[in-house]
Amino acid sequence: MRLLVTGARGMLGREVAAVAEARAHETIALGHGDLDVTDERDVRAVVAGERPDAIVNCAAFTDVDGAEAAEPEALELNGRAPGLLAAAASATAAQLIHVSTDYVFDGAAARPYLESDPVRPQSAYGRSKLAGELAVRAAGPQHAVARTAWLFGTGGRNFVATMLALADSGQEEVAVVTDQVGSPTFAGHLASALVDIAERRLAGVRHTAGAGACSWNELARAAFAQAGLACTVKAVTSDHFPRPAKRPAWSVLASERADTPRLPSWEDGLKAYLAETREGRPRR
């Protein structure tokens, strides 16, 4: 298979390209300097020239709080660009696999969100990602939208890396919220699922997040315990950390579609992440 990866310099894009190459796919890994996904001419020319069988779109505006003050910019990258990629893919009979988010939901559920549940984003970021989903689905039935949650991995900013850095720097206590619950997802595991979707040409909305659920507080505790770091995790609520963007209180995802790739548990994802990063971090 000939697979094109956008946003290939980012945390997830690098993982997708690595998985594709490890599976002997012909991989075209493009960063922003190689392809401006908001430029319709550029998108059409690159996709027509490369003729991929599938495109995995990892390019995104990921600053959740920043999107509140820059919603037009977020909509351009998260909403309009996926539609351009999907249209260009349709024109060459390629499939687009677009990465979306749990933030399209309002966080008011009491059970894991399924693909068929109604969407109601509560932030500019969530609205921009939903716009991208709708644009992709409008471009053709062969495309896939892979929703994920609480992504962490090597080579990019994420919650687990921040917690470990604080502990490594000598901080003895951190305050982390208990009233936000989700499905932490290791980028390496998600990347494998995205390539699976491309290989099997699965279409439609797919929930692809780490199995299980925990709060941010529980995730921090697990990270410190697995890493052997002595840092106390204080329990607080979201009121302790007022942010520009509203976070869903409940971000647990599960799939109702039997053929959707199942990811390992978030605990296994954390183990895999720490195995990749452990050598470079001091022990206390």
Strands 214-215 and 181-182: antiparallel
Q: Which residues make Cβ contacts (< 8 Å) with residue 4, sequence separation at least 6? A: 27, 28, 30, 46, 47, 50, 52, 54, 55, 56, 94
CA atoms within 13 A on the CB side of 73: 10
Q: Is 113 a catalytic residue?
A: no
The active-site residue, picked from 103, 113, 125, 273, is: 125
Residue 245 · residue 125 · CB < 8 Å? yes
CA distance 206 to 200: 13
Residue 160 · residue 127 · CB < 8 Å? no
DSSP output for 54-100:
EEEE------TTHHHH-HHHHHIIIIIHHHHHHHHHHHTT-EEEEEE
Residues annotated as part of the active site: 125
